[in-house]
Amino acid sequence: MGIKEECGVFGIYDTEGGCAQSVYYGLYALQHRGQEDCGIATINNLELSCHKGKGLVGEVFTEAILNELNGTMAIGHVRYASSRRLDKENTQPLALKYIKGSLAVAHNGALINSAELKREYEYKGAVFHTTTDSEVIAYIIAQARLHSGSAEAAVNQAMKRLKGAYSLVVMSSRKLIAARDPGGFRPLCIGRKGSAIFFASESCALDSIEATFIRDVEPGEIVWVNDGELHSNRENCTGTSSLCVFEHLYFARPDSVIDGQSVYDARILSGRYLAREHPIDADVVIGVPDSGLAAAKGYALESGIPYKDGIVMNRYIGRTFITPKQSSREEAVKIKLNPLRATISGKRVIIVDDSIVRGTTVVNNIKLLRDSGAKEVHMLSSAPKFIAPCNYGTDIPSKDVLIANKYTTEEMREIIGADSLGFLSVESLKKIAPDSNCAFCDACFTENYPV
């Protein structure tokens, strides 16, 4: 399989300039979506500039670099790569110049027909310099622009060829464009601050720059800014949607609102449903930082068992789930979390995590609790069992790495060393986001792929 990414994108159109600084803060707020590399591209007087590199946003950009990138439009990207290919060429935004001018693309998601499209254009003489879907998307847009009257029309034509998950921010010499695939697999929203217009993967990025959330980009919709005015094309909107439900369980920040649903409230609900499905006699409920905390609080609220902080996170190490190499994951888990013995020692402990994928993390967490004197350890997952790979950008590449495909629940319980083990049911999963105006993709739990 090629590189698949779960990333963050951000864009701004502001005639007053200073756009690079706003993108910098927006990407900082989206850092949880990708920690391997990042980049910013800007347009100033029709000229395209770009700076990108490996590392966190605060490491790649300095004040001097941001000042050099000053412009009236800018897009940015944070990335994690789920494969071992961390080539610098794959860092986004992808910026290029062609016969119609300049083009920059930042993309979150994964195409299922990327290899097919790439092969088609290679036979027509195209030369690709990266292994990303983003370059395929950029090439198709550039080709379509040669026969279209505008950049947004070219994006519209390109969308008719793309299959899979993509939330895009695209920048031409004069326009800022955002687009979301017809399934709406990945989030994308619109904000405004004064005359400036923003596009962001999550609403928390708008909050970071004190922009007002306007609305979500609809699945299949293209929106663009021209001369400061926002426009929309809904030609590709189908009325159906398949937002990745893992956005609510893990990916998104809890202070974000996605397609009408508070992420925090969704996680609280997942914990409440866990308590109804898996009642346990215990002394304390704890969560695995950070994405398991709200679900643990939900379990405590529903069950009446006290919630307490039981594990402290080292804030200076990235998420183990998105560390590319398995060996790195195992080492990172050991130095990332540390137990609070006063909460755990001599107690019957319920520990809630957002999911159990490979099983590495949960084994280490349970050992931490045992070593800290826990009398019993009951493990709960606020997601159902992972049984299938994701084709749309989440780091679940094959069935072979999924522990739930190798063992029964009882066998898994023995392997991880828990006194009991429970998963949220698929039926309850479908009810954790009652305020959402999007339906969900749950293929990794059901093998029911929308595309």
Structure confidence by residue, pLDDT tens digits, 11-56: 999 999 999 999 999 999 999 999 999 999 999 999 999 999 999 9
Partners of residue 438 on adjacent β-strands: none
Residues 6+ apart with CB under 8 A from 243: 183, 184, 185, 186, 187, 219, 258, 259, 436, 438, 439, 440, 441
Amino acid found at 371: D
Residue with tokens 């083990």: 421
Instruction: Find the catalytic residue in 7, 38, 50, 390.
Output: 7
Sheet arrangement for strand 176-180: 94-98, 101-108, 167-172, 176-180, 222-226, 229-233
Q: Which two tokens stand for residue 422?
A: 């429970």
The pLDDT of residue 85 is above 60: no
User: What is the distance in angstroms between the CA of the first residue and the CA of the last residue of the chain?
Assistant: 17
The pLDDT of residue 2 is above 70: no
Q: How far apart are CA 22 and CA 24, in angstroms?
A: 5
The 3-state DSSP composition of the chain as helix, strand, coil percent (nearest 5) reads 35, 25, 40
For 431-448, what is the mean pLDDT? 95
The pLDDT score that the predictor gives to residue 54 is: 93
Alpha helices in 183-308, H assignment, sequence order: 203-208, 246, 263-277, 293-303
Q: Which segments within 362-403 are labelled E, that is strand?
A: 376-381
pLDDT tens digits, one per residue of 338-363:
899 999 999 999 999 999 998 988 99
Residues 6+ apart with CB under 8 A from 15: 72, 195, 228
The pLDDT score that the predictor gives to residue 84 is: 46
Residue with tokens 């969308």: 159
**Least confident range of 83-87, 193-197, 385-389:** 83-87
Task: Domains for the chain: give ranges and CATH numbers.
Answer: 8-241 (3.60.20.10), 262-446 (3.40.50.2020)
Amino acid found at 323: T
The bridge status of strand 284-287 relative to strand 348-353 is parallel
The pLDDT of residue 203 is above 80: yes
In the 8-state DSSP scheme, what is residue 89?
G
The pLDDT score that the predictor gives to residue 246 is: 92
Report the run of H or E that residue 134 belongs to, with start and end.
Answer: helix 133-145
Q: How far apart are CA 71 and CA 14, in angstroms?
A: 8
Q: Comparing C-alpha atoms, which of 206, 223, 250, 311 is closest to residue 80?
A: 250
The pLDDT score that the predictor gives to residue 392 is: 87
Q: Collapsing DSSP states into helix, strand and coil, what is residue 313? A: strand
Mean pLDDT of all residues in the chain?
A: 92
Give Cα separations from 209 to 20, 73, 86, 120 (angstroms).
Answer: 12, 16, 30, 42
Let me know if 19 is a catalytic residue. no
Q: Which two tokens stand for residue 302?
A: 């529903």
326 pLDDT band, cuts 50/70/90, is low
146, HSE (Cβ side, Cα atoms, 13 Å): 7
108, HSE (Cβ side, Cα atoms, 13 Å): 33
The pLDDT of residue 237 is above 70: yes
The bridge status of strand 348-353 relative to strand 376-381 is parallel
The pLDDT of residue 295 is above 50: yes
Q: Which two tokens stand for residue 120?
A: 């088609």
The pLDDT score that the predictor gives to residue 1 is: 32
pLDDT tens digits, one per residue of 402-435:
999 999 999 999 999 999 999 999 999 999 999 9
For 225-241, what is the mean pLDDT? 94
The pLDDT of residue 5 is above 80: no
Q: How far apart are CA 44 and CA 31, in angstroms?
A: 26
